[in-house]
């Protein structure tokens, strides 16, 4: 199965909260990331959380980490149409050669915000 799993689509109304969920596999991952990809653009780091934290808040963004269940979520408060994008969850995972930690990405969740 996939190393990092996310649902593929989420649709919300403008002004509502959005919650994007992610599960990962490597319990040794010390950093977990959320990236945003707008149409035709590269990925941009939104936020990250260190594995010894349960929660991190940054303005409208709240990241929750359940390390026991290997579950990560991103909550966007007061979602705006400009938040429409693909959101990628990523974990730092040891490469197959064992030489380095490589960010490993999920397939991305397409967030669609309706006016």
Partner 1 sequence: GAGVSQSPSNKVTEKGKDVELRCDPISGHTALYWYRQSLGQGLEFLIYFQGNSAPDKSGLPSDRFSAERTGGSVSTLTIQRTQQEDSAVYLCASSPRGGGTGGGNEQFFGPGTRLTVL
- Distance CA(47)–CA(101), nearest Å, equals 18
Token pair in block for residue 71: 């579950």
Query: Shortest distance, CB of residue 13 to partner 1, whole angstroms?
Result: 25
Query: Shortest distance, CB of residue 82 to partner 1, whole angstroms?
Result: 19
Q: Contacting partner 1 (CB under 8 A), which of 10, 20, 43, 72?
A: 43
Query: Shortest distance, CB of residue 15 to partner 1, whole angstroms?
Result: 29
- Distance CA(25)–CA(109), nearest Å, equals 18
- Distance CA(114)–CA(88), nearest Å, equals 20
Q: Which residues bind partner 1 (CB under 8 A)?
A: 2, 4, 8, 30-31, 35, 40-45, 48, 50, 88, 92, 95-97, 99-108
């Amino acid at each position: 199965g996939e190393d990092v799993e996310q649902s593929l689509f989420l649709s919300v109304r403008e002004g509502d909260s959005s919650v994007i969920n992610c599960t990962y596999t490597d319990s040794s991952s010390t950093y977990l990331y959320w990236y945003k990809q707008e149409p035709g653009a590269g990925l941009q780091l939104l936020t990250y959380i260190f594995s010894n934290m349960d929660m991190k808040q940054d303005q409208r963004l709240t990241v929750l980490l359940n390390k026991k269940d290997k579950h990560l979520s991103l909550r966007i408060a007061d979602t705006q149409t400009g938040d429409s994008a693909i959101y990628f969850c990523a974990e730092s995972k040891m490469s197959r050669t064992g030489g380095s930690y490589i960010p490993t990405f999920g397939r991305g969740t397409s967030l669609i915000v309706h006016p």
